[in-house]
Amino acid sequence: MAKKYFDKRNTEEAVFKCLMVLSIFIVAVSLISILATVLVKGIGALNIAMLTKTPEGGYYLGKTGGILNAILGSVILGVGATLMSLVISLPVVCYLNLYLKKNSRFALLVRFSLDVLWGVPSIVYGAFGFAAMLFLGLKASLLSGTVTVALLITPIMARSMDEIIRIIPFELKEAAYALGSTRLETAFKIIFKQAQPAILAATLVAFGRGIGDAACVLFTAGFTDSLPYSLFKPVATLPLAIFFQLGTPFPEVQKRGYAAALILTLLILTVSLSARFLSKRFTEHLLK
Amino acid sequence: MKPHISTKNLSVWYGEHHVLNNISIDIPDKKITVIIGPSGCGKTTLLKSFNRLIELQDGVKISGKVLLDGEDIYDPSCDITHLRKKMGLLFQKPQVLPMSIYENVAYGLRIHGTKDKEELDYSVEHYLKEASLWNEVKDRLNTSAWKLSIGQQQRLCLARGMAIEPEVILGDEPTAALDPISAERIEQRFLGLKNKYSIVLVTHILRQARRLADYVIFLYFGNLIEHGPAEAVFNHPKDPRTQAYIDGRFFEEHTS
């Protein structure tokens, strides 16, 4: 009797462990195959000129020159949108977690709204940005693109931070208040400090999402062969460079599309890794 | 006897749950007052009502008065950060801040306006000595506070609490999470500090209460059953429930 019971539990354990390993395998294989595809298809077209020159012969059909316009455009737009989003997200998260009580209905509503916004497809943000631009009499520009991308990534950033800050032990807040800290001091000197790795991770996820999104910038940022020079002029971005180049019927140009994808991937990877590396030195004192 | 903290008809509810019922007591100045009673009887709530930390709880409702040196702390004109500066609080589980040992003590001083480096250095050393921690940490003030042992962390919290120069030290079972030796050191510190501060401790360890208390408050399911000088309460309790609790044969018929 005892043996049978034990066998059933062991089988259960083995089956589910198997399923877990399988899932992890699927994730790992997807990641590796995506990276491999981009690498194999793009590496041939990757050269110094790609990184240092602007397109020659038009971005649709040009087979020479580079995509410096899109690299710079994406970096400026991505960083701008991330900073803008950070400036909105931190106060939201601060208010939700320190100024409202745990079971506040208003907090529930805000979190729900952010979750809904997170689920809104980026093309809808693009369309909304476009409508807003028309309403305000603006043209496709670096500014419009940055604002639209900031709107897209704010729910992602705010909710990712919020989820981590919510689980910081209540006692830490209590300890800060007991010393006579104001809510703002508790937020900035204690809670955000303890949550710094989470804030960084949320910022990086949002940056990656923002810099890689094509639908959002399609109508709002436009495209151009020249380097970005004004907030009010169209700007080139990597996702659109990939989109346009892959859309051509010429294999050589398509290869350049894959090279652009490779550059975008490496860009996000580099920013991610260096930010994490840099933050290591500031996290020494954080409670484990 | 001049009371330092007084409560007048203090009642506290968490939602529908009536946690404290009409408590009126006087906490004496520069003495150790110990609040005893079975778990869930409102000891911690009473303690946290003194520095208004209970307001952080959801759905809390408070009626009655808490007076600190005769002033009502629940009056709208009372500055809450200033009130909390007057009370150092030790938790059951020491809660260090995510910073170095030095910064843990300096934090309170900094937020209350001390900027001078020498003054900070002096205070950090002084209060770490007051908490009998200085000798163990003086060579590693810049290492993380969480790397200390739990007993050391509690003494660091004591130093941090004293550094804001409070008048009162509140302790919510401050030795409950500690090993016996660390607990003993904390107890010794309380005895050494009682001529400088009014100390209010919550404990469920009767022997500890006997060792430390000058004044005892016995709570039972939100009601104040008995309070008075330790000697009187421990040796000649007036209420049979106090007698039963002290004898360690407690009836828990109220617990669900």
Average pLDDT over chain B reads: 90
Whole-angstrom CA distances from A242 to A38, A260, B102 are 11, 6, 53
Rounded to an integer, the average pLDDT of A19-28 is 97
Q: Taking a contact as any Cβ pair under 8 Å apart, which residues of chain A between 193 and 252 contact chain B?
A: 193-194
pLDDT band at B39 (very low <50, low <70, confident <90, very high): confident
Residues belonging to chain B with any Cβ–Cβ distance to chain A shorter than 8 Å: 51, 53, 56, 58-59, 81-85, 87-89, 91, 93, 95-100, 103, 107-108, 111-112, 144-146, 157, 160-161, 164
Angle, helices B180-193 vs B150-163, to 10°: value is: 20
Separation CA A131–CA A137 (nearest Å): 10
Residue B14 pLDDT more than 80?
A: yes
- Provide the token pair at A156: 């992602």
Q: pLDDT by residue (tens digit) across A185-243?
A: 999 999 999 999 889 999 999 999 999 999 999 999 988 888 999 899 999 999 999 99
Mean pLDDT value of segment B234-239: 90
Lowest mean pLDDT among A7-11, A58-62, A159-163, B178-182: A58-62
Query: What is the mean predicted confidence (pLDDT) over B228-242?
Result: 90
Measured between beta carbons, the chain A residues lying within 8 angstroms of B83 are 180
Average pLDDT over residues B117-131: 94
- Nearest chain B CA: its distance from A168 CA (Å): 12
Looking at residue B255, what is its pLDDT?
A: 44
- Calpha distance B204→A165 (Å, rounded): 33
For residue B97, which phi and psi values (nearest 5 degrees)? -90, 155
- Between chains, do A178 and B87 touch, taking CB under 8 Å as contact? yes
**Predicted pLDDT of residue B250:** 63
The pLDDT, as a whole number, for residue A4 is 67
Which residues between 136 and 175 in chain A have a beta carbon less than 8 angstroms from any beta carbon of chain B?
A: 169-175
Predicted TM-score (pTM) of this structure: 0.85
Residue numbers in A near B108 (CB within 8 A): 179-180
How far A31 CA sits from the closest chain B CA (Å)? 36
Cα distance from A184 to chain B (closest Cα, Å)? 11
Longest dimension (CA), chain B: 58
Q: Say which range, A53-57, A77-81, B32-36, has the weakest mean pLDDT.
A: A53-57
pLDDT at A60: 62
Which uninterrupted H or E stretch holds A13?
A: helix A2-43
The mean pLDDT value of chain A amounts to 91
Q: Does B98 contact A285 at a Cβ distance shorter than 8 Å?
A: yes
- Percent of residues in chain B assigned helix, strand, coil, to nearest 5: 40, 25, 35
A286 touches chain B (CB under 8 A): yes
pLDDT of residue A173: 93
Which pLDDT does position A279 carry in this prediction? Answer: 80
Task: Give residues with Cβ within 8 angstroms of A177, minimum separation 6.
Answer: A186, B53, B56, B84
Say yes or no: A179 contacts chain B, CB-CB below 8 A: yes
Q: How many CB pairs under 8 A join A and B?
A: 79
How far A86 CA sits from the closest chain B CA (Å)? 22
Q: Is A108 on the interface with B (CB under 8 A)?
A: no
- The interface predicted TM-score of the complex, written ipTM, equals 0.90
pLDDT digits (tens, 9 = 90+) for A108-157: 999 999 999 999 999 999 999 999 999 999 889 999 999 999 999 999 99
Contacts of B60 in chain A (CB under 8 A): none
Which of A103, A185, A194 is closest, CB to CB, to B111?
A185
Q: Is A177 on the interface with B (CB under 8 A)?
A: yes
- Å between B240 CA and nearest CA of chain A: 36
Measured at the CA of B195, the angle between CA B192 and CA B196, to 5 degrees, comes to 95
Is residue A106 within 8 angstroms of chain B, CB to CB? no
Looking at beta carbons, which residues of chain B come within 8 Å of A189?
107, 111
pLDDT of residue B106 exceeding 80, the answer is: yes
Instruction: Say whether A179 and B161 touch across the interface (CB within 8 A).
Output: yes
At A69-104, the pLDDT tens digits run 999 999 999 999 999 999 999 999 999 999 998 888
> Do residues B92 and B174 touch, judged by C-beta distance below 8 A?
yes
Residues 260-279 of A with CB under 8 A from B: none
CA separation for the pair A51, A49 (Å, rounded): 5
Q: How sure is the predictor about A40, in pLDDT bands with cuts at 50, 70 and 90? A: very high
Higher pLDDT, B200 or B56: B200
CB contacts of B111 in chain A (<8 Å) are 179-182, 185, 189
Residue B182 pLDDT > 90: no
Identify the pLDDT of residue A113: 97
A265 or A102: which leads in pLDDT: A265
Of B56, B88, B145, the CB nearest to A174: B56
Is the CB of B84 less than 8 angstroms away from the CB of A287? no
Question: How far A93 CA lies from chain B's nearest CA (Å)?
Answer: 17
For residue B99, what is the nearest residue in chain A, using CA coordinates? A285
Q: Does residue A91 sit at the B interface (CB-CB below 8 Å)? A: no
CB nearest A175 (choices: B83, B91, B164): B91
Q: How far apart are CA A4 and CA A17, in angstroms?
A: 20
CB contact under 8 A, A180 and B144: no
pLDDT band for position B256 (50/70/90)? very low
Burial B58-90 (b: 16+ CB within 10 A, else e): eebebebbbbbeeeebbeeeeebeebbbbbbbb
Chain B touched by A103 (CB under 8 Å): yes
